[in-house]
Structure 1
Amino acid sequence: MRNEFHETLDSLAVDLADMCGRTSVMMHAASGALLTANLDQADRLQLDLKRLTGLGNTVHDRAYSLLALQAPVAKDLRTVVCALHIAADADRMGALAAHVARAASRRYPDRVVPDDVEELFADMGATAVELADLAQVTVQTGDTMQARRVCDGDDRMDDLHRQLFTHLISPTWRHGVTAAADLVLVGRFYERFADHAVEIARRVYFQTTGTQLSLSADPMPPARPLPG
């Protein structure tokens, strides 16, 4: 019976890593759609999102079944509870990727992203994909150093987000308020995508160590116990 229980735990980790991997593929496609005004790619991402959500629902069903029938404790309990949260975070990452792709339709057939910020948005897309890939590895391995790398990557996304606002409020901005508002929204999608990747990393860190990964200015902050 316990062997079956741990096999189910292992299968949860496999599916959660798969979900993270799918969000990476989705964001890569979404960023391409945004930069090239490819509406066909945006439509395909809606189907990908449905499949991602379906996998997340499967993870939730198995996790709740384990809680109800196995009454796990200690690390096993952390693993099951974290699985529920990780699946929700990964599903939200997929939705945000779909939002980025849909933004391509705002000015079709023209691009939403002007030439003077194209490189910035390409960097945001690449950073988001890298974070999703790191989250996948973190879930697969339970490696706490990988979890810290995700948090470091989020700092990079925050810096890019600040650069975006610098461009938009610059006196040299010549594309108007509406275009700026569209880009603020898209930038927010990227930022939230990164935030969810960080949440996945923090949950894996807690699952592995029983302590919470502190986010501070120190690149290698000490772990601190969760209350209770």
Structure 2
Amino acid sequence: MDHTAITPDSFNFITLFLRADWVVKLVMIGLAVASLWSWTVILDKTFRFASLNRAANAFEDAVASGKSLEEVAADAGERPRHVLPRMLQGALREWRESRAKGLSTDTQAAFLIQRIDRVLDAAIARESARVELGLGSLAIVATASPFIGLFGTVWGIMTAFQSIAIQKNTSLAVVAPSIAEALFATAIGLVAAIPAYIAFNAFSTAAGKFSGRLEGFADDLSTAIQRRLADRV
């Protein structure tokens, strides 16, 4: 590796990558792939959460419009994509089946509320797991990338010292390029880790808020069913 002719172009990103040791190259490529994957997840989650909340707003407005729950559930279609209408349809299905069999005692009414709560809790659990899908990969990129980049840096510095020993020359012209290659690996690690860390925290908060929104809707729906049962007494 010739380090005698040092120019500003010797320190651009492409040159640093091409001149790096093969181990450092692998580290850089791996970190670049991890960064690309994390940005794919970030963009997907950004659009997904925006779409989910827009649909939730529209459905909650429909519920609050004064229509009956049956009308709102029918307007959502047979197989709605959003979880809120699925929760409503599941609760109403339990209500219809129990009413068809007869609700003559308080015990039967209590069992109906328990079944509805289980249906709603299962829907919330499935949806929460779905919206959190991909956050684990962001966490891995955020935590592992700096250490992988640091490994590349340590390896590059060892290579720099080996170059010094072979050439028996401690000139900055000998050391600087190898050190720059090594530090470039750390920089890529940070570039991959920082957006992933910020996005992981932001989307974890968004997922928690969305799950809380579903739980609030489930509580309101359960209360509405209990009110119907009370009106039948």
Q: Which one has a larger percent helix, Structure 1 or Structure 2?
A: 2
Q: Which has the higher contact order (CA 8 A, sep 6+)?
A: 2
The normalised TM-score by structure 2 is 0.37
The normalised TM-score by structure 1 is 0.38
Larger of the two Rg values belongs to structure: 2
